[in-house]
Each structure stands twice: as C-alpha cells, then as structure tokens.
Amino acid sequence: MKQNIFFAFVLCCVVLACKKDDKLTYDSTDNIYLNYSNIDSLIYTFAYSIGVEKDTLWIPVKVSGKRTDKDRNFVMDIVKSGTTATEGLHYEPLKPFYTLPGDSGLIHVPLILKNTDPELQNKSVYLTLRVSGGSDFNSNLPDTIRSKKILFSNRLELPIWWQYWAEMGAYTRVKHQLFLISSGTVDLPVRTNPNWYLEIPRTLYYIENTRSFLNRPFEWVKDHPEKGYVLTMRTDGTGDYDFYNAKSPGQKFHLKYFKQADKYIFLDENNGQIIL
C-alpha cells in the first residue's frame, strides 16, 4: 500500500513538471537613440567642398526594442545649453517630429548645415542634437546615446585619425591643407578597426607623398601640372615664395627660404616650420 502511494506521488510530480510554462513576453514601450559608435563628437567642415553653401548630414536614429507594422513618431531637437550655432544662419530648423516607417528599426534624419556665415572661415560653431520619444517611444536611455555634438566650420578641423599616426606630427591647419593637396587622400585609417594594420602600407604611401612634396615643392609643381598649383616669388626681397592654386589666388601658403640650411620650408598659421 505504501509503495502504491509513493508511485502515485511520483506520477503527480512528473505531471506537474511537464506542465507548459507560461510564455514570457516583452511588454514595454520601445526606446530610441542615435546609432553612433563611441565618438564624443562629429566634425564637419565645408573646407573640403569649396563654394558649397549647404550640406546635409544624415543622423542615424535607431529603435531599442521591437519593430512594429505601424508608423511611429519621435522628436529630435537642439540642446540649447550645448549649442553655439544659430538657427537659420548655421543650420535649418528641425521639424516638430519625425516618422519612423512601419517595420523599420532605423531611419536617417536630415540635418542641413549652412555655409552662409563668413565667420565660419575663422571660427567653429557646434550644435548638440538629442532624440526623444515623442508620442510613440520612451526616453529612458542615457543622454550619452540619445545626443551628439556636431562641430563644424568652413575651415579645417583636427580629424579623428590624426592622433593615430605619429608620423604626421603636431596638428596645424596649414599642414592639414598641404596634406590634402599632396597625399592623394582626405582620410587615414583609425586604429580602432581590428584589421587596421592591413592599411599600414597604403597609409605610409600617402604620408610619404606629403613628405616628398614638403621637401621638393618646386619639383612637385612641375610633376603635377594637372593640380593647377604655382609658385611665385614674393616681391619683398626675402627670396620667399607663395604657393597657391591659380584658380584660388586668395589662399596662399608661405614657402620661406632659410639661408643657413639653404632650404625652402613651408610655414603654418603660427609661423612654425612644417616638417614631416
């Protein structure tokens, strides 16, 4: 009798254990954030596109949660405390809200920057964007991933990649400009990529192009007539030259003659020697 009771008890345990568990489901309002890697701020300059009065940055906005089959609205606004740019002068106003299409988890929102302020040639301005839930999303995620600062101007800015290549030396805007003219590229790899070392040979080639130009500017002008650059001697009796593009004579680079070394060396915006 005791044995039968024991078997009945075991059978009940097995039946209860085989009972299907209640299904756990996700039941929370989704969040939204800016889909950038670990970059403190974005840098943009109109200096790469001479004559362009406006340009569009596409800001990636991503959902943290489920996709749905209906359109959903969210808000992107400007954080005034983190902004020196002026609406209308430096950027076009944002819309009251933006719509994420149904079945989408990512959208790119246009931010239109303007190059109509002459002062952008002498200074940089910045604006801070922040995305929030609006009517269909939560705003529970940290500001660090819901906002991003954008620094822009009409002059060259220190690029992210510069710090990863010690061969470039200290940054100056004139050195940067001469690199763009002579290297054959506008960017070098950033060493956060796992396979960055595969780019070393090509990167050293670009840097060597700039080094050769700085050491042999007269030969470079002769060898690259398609670039449109010329060297003309200054009229101040120093023996120095101006290097500039024939189509843009207003932007000149000072090539100074150093008698003791019997060598011509470019000077940067601080009158420092540009050596690579």
Residues 248 and 217 both lie in one domain: yes
- The per-residue pLDDT for 7 is 47
Instruction: Verify that 238 and 171 share a domain, yes or no.
Output: yes
191-250 pLDDT tens trace? 777 788 898 999 999 999 999 999 999 999 999 999 999 999 999 999 999 999 888 787
Among the listed residues 52, 89, 59, the one whose alpha carbon sits nearest the alpha carbon of residue 74: 59
Q: What is the share, in percent, of the chain residues with pLDDT greater than 70? A: 88
Q: Which of 153, 175, 195 finishes a domain?
A: 153
Residues 102 and 187 in one domain: no
pLDDT one-digit tens code per residue, 130-189: 999 888 898 889 988 899 999 999 888 888 899 999 999 999 999 999 999 999 999 898
Closest CA to 172 of 246, 247, 253: 253
Domain-terminating residue out of 153, 183, 203: 153
- pLDDT per residue as tens digits for the range 72-87: 999 999 999 999 999 9
140 and 175 housed in the same domain:
no
Whether residue 116 sits in one domain with residue 199: no
Expressed as residue numbers, the domain containing 259 is 160-266
Measured distance CA(276)–CA(274) in Å, rounded: 7
Final residue of a structural domain among 100, 124, 153: 153
What local confidence, expressed as pLDDT, does residue 2 receive?
A: 47
Average pLDDT of the chain to the nearest whole number = 87
CA distance 237 to 273: 20
72-78 and 31-34 strand pairing: unpaired
Confidence of residue 55 (pLDDT cuts 50, 70, 90): very high
Residue 127 located in a structural domain: yes
The total number of structural domains in the chain stands at 2
Would residue 24 count as lying in a domain? no
Q: From CA 236, how far away is CA 256, in angstroms rounded?
A: 12
Work out the angle at residue 166's Cα, subtended by the Cα atoms of residues 162 and 167, and round it to the nearest 5 degrees. Answer: 100
Q: What is the pLDDT of residues 86-101, one digit of tens each?
A: 999 999 999 999 999 9
Alpha-carbon distances of 120 from 24, 113, 186, 207, 273, rounded to whole Å: 55, 12, 20, 28, 26
In the numeric block, the tokens 């070098």 are attached to 188
